């Protein structure tokens, strides 16, 4: 028996929600980043599920692109975190408020 | 059923690992839990017919990206910064923070739940590619033909013997009608299922035009490095034909019959044949010395599906109206790469998505430069003074900072006091 697309979308939604939780509640910038990765993964899962549903490969191609963009994003993001850590000795996002109005 | 159980188990593991990622106090543990979640998602990709993406997910995500995360966590010593989450200072600064986050997430869940409940996605997964239909016009005297599927024109002006162009149609039952320039239209019922190809051949004379569905699902090749061969008899002049391999001309004893008696309108069983060239002949089954047509040096290429149609061609050789000669029309279709496999993804990537691919390459380059620029630190060049004992500069700096003056030779290093020796190393 083939698992229905709904089940995958539901799982994807749960994982995405957990990722949103992490982004909103975590104070450690690296963990916020990892939560963003979790959200991207959840979106990928939904894309692949829909690609199978329609029998077309476009969705899988987009997952490929998302993974590439995620790799670029992680490289730049972690470089930013390292740079911030150098100047402030902390990556607690509550302490990064020098741009406050 | 197995698939459902697997999905349930792996999905549960993924969700629990994600929850533990959020709950664990140590950032390294969080990263390891995230790796488990990503591994589970890679497995789900396998269940979803995306083996290539599953590989990419494991190598790029759980491999490269998470290694980078772990590296940065260890580099910054950020394992235990979790504690800040529950510190009283944090809740003082943003007293509304946690409640707002939970409310937002609850709203998100509610909206998505409502949408999922309302929208009927009509979810019967269909795994194959859209079905394709191609029509070969092998009737010599009917002129060009127009092809209709359920009264919609799908191909017009098909000339005799032209390699057919596949038309992609939605799944379903169709009545395909062929309307020739000369003669009466003929029609046939075809069921198109997803992931299949159907080839239709019209043959015969204008007053007895016939239409046959020849090769169903001719895009599958069961073995690599080989091709699928099928023969179709559209030659009404003889009762039955054979496909014969006469072997070399020096040895007449190694004659082999490749395909037995084919009557007009009949299609042979599919042969799986290794790539190479063949020299086969179509002969009259009742008189095997009557060679109708020779397939000379016909090249069989791997992972293709060839349909060879024996039909007639009108040749104008000076006589009134010309004569009908036998002719074999090959139709060669490339086997469709397996859905979600590396070949299919590569094909799509280098055809429809080349532009996006190029843009992504540029983006990655920009990211590389960005990462270098962001983390680059100016290092003052160290000038070497001549005649001086070469103590490595950082060590000299450390000693100088501990003893209070610059040290130029070994003799000048004083005994370190107890407190200085126990002091934390510079840099922490």
Count of C-beta atoms within a 10 Å radius of residue B235: 27
- Are A18 and B15 in contact (CB < 8 Å)? yes
| B330 vs B243: CA distance, rounded Å | 14
User: How is residue B226 written in tokens?
Assistant: 């080989």
In this structure, the dihedral spanned by the alpha carbons of residues B116, B117, B118 and B119, taken in order and rounded to 10 degrees, is 40
Tell me the mean pLDDT in the region B278-286.
83
Closest residue in A to B80 (Cα) is A28
Which position has the higher pLDDT, B15 or B108? B15
Task: Output the pLDDT for position B144.
Answer: 84
- Are B104 and A72 in contact (CB < 8 Å)? no
Give the pLDDT band (50/70/90) at residue B428.
very low
Count of C-beta atoms within a 10 Å radius of residue B312: 22
Instruction: Looking at the complex, report in whole angstroms how far the Cα of residue A99 sits from the nearest Cα belonging to chain B.
Output: 16
- Are B22 and A26 in contact (CB < 8 Å)? yes
First to last CA, chain B: 57
Give me the residue from B53, B90, B372 closest to A63, CB to CB. B53
Query: What confidence tens digit (pLDDT) does each residue in B92-112 have?
Result: 666 677 788 788 888 888 887
Tell me the mean pLDDT in the region B167-185.
83
Query: Could you tell me the strand order of the sheet in which B172-180 lies?
Result: B152-158, B145-149, B172-180, B186-192
- Are A48 and B97 in contact (CB < 8 Å)? no
A43 touches chain B (CB under 8 A): no
Tell me the mean pLDDT in the region B163-167.
77
| B97 vs B106: CA distance, rounded Å | 14
Most confident residue range from A44-48, B74-78, B182-186, B237-241: A44-48
| B119 vs A64: CA distance, rounded Å | 28
List the beta bridge partners of residue B145: B158, B180
B425 pLDDT more than 60: no
Chain A CB contacts of B377 under 8 Å are 86
Mapping DSSP onto H, E and C, the string for B291-338 reads EEEEEEEEEECCCEEEEEEEEEEEECCCCCCCEEEEEEEEEEEECCCC
B121 pLDDT more than 60: no
User: Cβ neighbours of residue B127 under 8 Å, at least 6 residues apart?
Assistant: A2, A52, A55, B49, B194, B195, B339
| B17 vs B34: CA distance, rounded Å | 7
Chain A CB contacts of B68 under 8 Å are 74-75, 78
| Residues B295 and B279 sit within 8 Å (Cβ to Cβ) | yes
Instruction: Looking at the complex, report in whole angstroms how far the Cα of residue A71 sits from the nearest Cα belonging to chain B.
Output: 6
- Are A22 and B21 in contact (CB < 8 Å)? yes
Quote the percentage of chain B above a pLDDT of 90: 16
B136 pLDDT more than 90: no
Q: What are phi and psi of B69, to 5 degrees?
A: -60, -50
Establish, for the pair of chains A and B, how many residue pairs have beta carbons separated by less than 8 Å.
Answer: 236
Chain B CB contacts of A71 under 8 Å are 60, 64-65, 364, 367
Of B160, B221, B167, residue with least CA distance to B192 = B167
Q: Which of B73-82, B87-96, B363-372 has the lowest mean pLDDT?
A: B87-96
B199 pLDDT more than 70: yes
Query: Could you tell me the strand order of the sheet in which B271-274 lies?
Result: B271-274, B226-233, B304-315, B323-334
Of B338, B337, B333, residue with least CA distance to B230 = B333
Instruction: Looking at the complex, report in whole angstroms how far the Cα of residue A101 sits from the nearest Cα belonging to chain B.
Output: 15
On whether ipTM exceeds 0.85, the answer is yes
Mapping DSSP onto H, E and C, the string for A55-83 reads CCCHHHHHHHHHHHHHHHHHHHHHHHHHH
Task: Output the pLDDT for position B166.
Answer: 79
Give the pLDDT band (50/70/90) at residue B427.
very low
Query: What confidence tens digit (pLDDT) does each residue in B208-264 have?
Result: 787 877 765 555 555 567 788 888 888 877 888 888 887 655 555 667 788 888 888
Which position has the higher pLDDT, B105 or B391? B105
Give me the residue from B7, B56, B85 closest to A64, CB to CB. B56
Query: What confidence tens digit (pLDDT) does each residue in B332-351 have?
Result: 777 767 777 888 888 888 88
Determine how β-strand B197-205 pairs with β-strand B132-137.
parallel
Low-confidence residues in chain A, pLDDT < 50: none
């Amino acid at each position: 028996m083939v698992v229905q697309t709904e089940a995958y979308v539901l799982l994807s939604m749960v994982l995405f929600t957990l990722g949103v939780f992490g982004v909103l509640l975590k104070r450690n910038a690296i963990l916020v980043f990892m939560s963003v990765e979790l959200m991207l993964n959840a979106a990928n899962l939904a894309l692949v599920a829909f690609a199978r549903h329609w029998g077309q490969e476009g969705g899988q191609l987009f997952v490929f692109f998302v993974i590439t963009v995620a790799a670029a994003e992680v490289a730049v993001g972690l470089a930013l975190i390292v740079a911030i850590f150098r100047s402030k000795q902390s990556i607690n996002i509550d302490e990064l408020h020098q741009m406050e109005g | 059923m197995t698939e459902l159980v697997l999905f349930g188990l792996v999905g549960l593991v993924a969700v629990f690992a994600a929850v533990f990622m959020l709950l664990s106090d140590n950032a390294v543990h969080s990263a390891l839990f995230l790796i488990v979640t990503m591994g589970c998602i890679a497995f789900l990709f396998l269940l979803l017919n995306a083996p290539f993406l599953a590989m990419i997910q494991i190598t790029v995500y759980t491999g490269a990206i998470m290694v980078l995360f772990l590296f940065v966590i260890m580099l910054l010593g950020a394992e235990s910064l979790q504690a800040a989450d529950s510190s009283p200072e944090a809740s003082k600064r943003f007293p509304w923070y946690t409640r707002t986050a939970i409310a937002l997430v609850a709203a998100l869940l509610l909206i998505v739940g409502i949408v999922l409940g309302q929208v009927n996605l009509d979810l019967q997964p269909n795994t194959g590619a859209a079905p394709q239909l191609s029509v070969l016009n092998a009737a010599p005297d009917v002129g060009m033909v127009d092809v209709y599927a359920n009264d919609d024109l799908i191909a017009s002006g098909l000339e005799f013997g032209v390699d057919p162009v596949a038309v992609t149609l939605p799944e379903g039952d169709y009545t395909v009608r062929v309307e020739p320039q000369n003669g009466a239209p003929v029609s046939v019922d075809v069921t198109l299922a997803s992931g299949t190809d159907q080839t239709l051949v019209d043959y015969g004379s204008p007053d007895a035009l016939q239409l046959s569905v020849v090769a169903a699902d001719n895009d599958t090749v069961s073995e690599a490095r080989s091709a699928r061969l099928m023969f179709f008899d559209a030659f009404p002049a003889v009762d039955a034909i054979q496909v014969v391999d006469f072997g070399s001309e020096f040895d007449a004893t190694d004659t082999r019959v490749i395909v037995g008696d084919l009557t007009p309108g009949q299609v042979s069983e599919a042969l799986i044949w290794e790539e190479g060239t063949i020299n086969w002949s179509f002969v009259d089954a009742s008189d095997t010395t009557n060679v109708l047509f020779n397939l000379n040096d016909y090249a069989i290429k791997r992972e293709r599906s060839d349909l060879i149609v024996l039909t007639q061609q009108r040749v104008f050789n000076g006589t009134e109206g010309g004569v009908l000669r036998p002719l074999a029309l090959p139709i060669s279709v490339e086997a469709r790469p397996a859905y979600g496999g590396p070949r299919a993804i590569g094909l799509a990537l280098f055809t429809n998505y080349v532009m996006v691919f190029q843009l992504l390459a540029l983006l990655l380059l920009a990211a590389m430069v960005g990462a270098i620029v962001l983390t680059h630190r100016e290092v003052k060049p160290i000038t070497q003074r001549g005649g001086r004992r070469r103590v490595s500069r950082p060590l000299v700096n450390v000693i100088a900072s501990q003893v209070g003056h610059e040290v130029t030779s070994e003799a000048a290093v004083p005994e370190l006091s107890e407190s200085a020796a126990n002091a934390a190393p510079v840099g922490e």
